[in-house]
Structure 1
Amino acid sequence: MVAFSIRAAGPADGGFLADMLVEAANWRAGATRPRPVILADATHTAYLTGWQRPADRGVVALDPEGRPVGAAWYRLFAADRPSAGFVAAGVPELIIGVRPLWRAQGVGRALLRALAEDARSGGYARLALSVEHGNFAHDLYRSEGFAIVATAGGRDTMVRRLR
């Protein structure tokens, strides 16, 4: 396994989180959804706009030279402004992205575990996410305790109980 480290995400990481949102949207091999198109989409910008709001938390994976290679973060959404994986007010929604060369090396799992622990220690009972059908990360989410609670528009909303 390749060595990497994880640190907390801060306000200065907004640009890198945008990069990872683009990676998450382009999860298919050869996917080419252009960055400007992804970042102009209101569904996607909801995960970034105003980063880092008071309840926003995240983690960043770094390669041995200290370069960011992946990130996971969560946000809270209101019932009148739900996100793609919204299940209820007070349930943070997770977003995760890893650079292609670092996928399938444990980075995503480590990010997911670190963020789930952060949410649990922050007093949250559940963590939600939305994943497209066919996304290889679906198996990762299931193996980490996420279960499908809704399916619509080619996406599954998944939830993990934290306590």
Structure 2
Amino acid sequence: MPPSDPAGDHRPAGRRGGEVTVELRDLEFYDDDDTAVLLLEATRLNVNWTGEERVDDAGVLADRSLAHYTVLHPGRGDFGLVAEIGGRAVGVVWLLFLDASDPGYGYVADGVPELSVCVWPGYRGVGIGRLLLEEAFLAARKRDIRRVSLSVENGNPATRLYRDVGFSDATGSAPGTMIVGLRP
């Protein structure tokens, strides 16, 4: 289980009529096994966003186009943040530097990381996703990253949030691919 008491940022996010404390942790703080479990769960939840179970954990790992989302490679620049409430992960955002030899669904160009974000059911719609995106953008700017992409399926309500934080359709890319420019 990931540690629950390291130093981290504390940000408020409203949830069901009250205020809760959301702690953000650097994803690299977790050990490799905990990170892999967390990203596997998040990837499965992202694929199954409609509520229909289209894929289980074994299916994610068996599908190369999904499995690469479950591995963080800090050496190539990958990074992410985990949102916790009471020491329990309730959301995660991670950016992977996938290249043309192993592109993600939101690939636009080498050197442009693809962002994935997931907020666990029961914690959606209260600002945690926006908080994760905004903090990921800050971390990206500190790393001198100027553009970030993502992929979202048609009909996914998260599209509204992505547009609200500045993402737009990526010209010349696969449908559902969006990009945002980050100002210094």
Q: TM-score, normalised by structure 1?
A: 0.91
Q: Give aligned pairs, total.
A: 158
Ranges of 4+ aligned residues in structure 1 off by more than 3 Å: none
Specify which structure has the bigger relative contact order, considering alpha-carbon pairs within 8 angstroms and separated by 6 or more residues: 1
1:140 to 161, 172, 184: 161
Deviation at 1:25, TM superposition (A): 1.0
Matches within 5 A, 1:47-86: 47-49=69-71, 51-54=72-75, 55-63=77-85, 65-86=86-107
1:21 to 43, 58, 67: 43
2:113 to 85, 92, 98: 92
Report the Cα distance in structure 1 between the residues aligned to 2:169 and 2:158, rounded to whole angstroms.
Answer: 13
1:44 to 52, 56, 66: 66
Report the Cα distance in structure 2 between the residues aligned to 1:83 and 1:61, rounded to whole angstroms.
Answer: 24
Q: Which amino acid aligns with 1:86?
A: Y
Deviation at 1:38, TM superposition (A): 2.2
Report the Cα distance in structure 2 between the residues aligned to 1:107 and 1:25, rounded to whole angstroms.
Answer: 19
Equivalent residue, structure 2, for 1:157? 177
Q: Percent identity, aligned pairs only?
A: 36
Report the Cα distance in structure 1 between the residues aligned to 2:155 and 2:61, rounded to whole angstroms.
Answer: 22
Task: Give structure 1 stretches of 5+ with no counterpart.
Answer: none
Deviation at 1:24, TM superposition (A): 0.9
Task: Give structure 2 stretches of 5+ with no counterpart.
Answer: 1-13
Q: Any conservation in 1 of the 2:40–2:60 contact (CA below 8 Å)?
A: no
Q: Which amino acid aligns with 2:179?
A: V
Q: Which amino acid aligns with 1:22?
A: R
3-state SS of paired residue (1:74):
strand
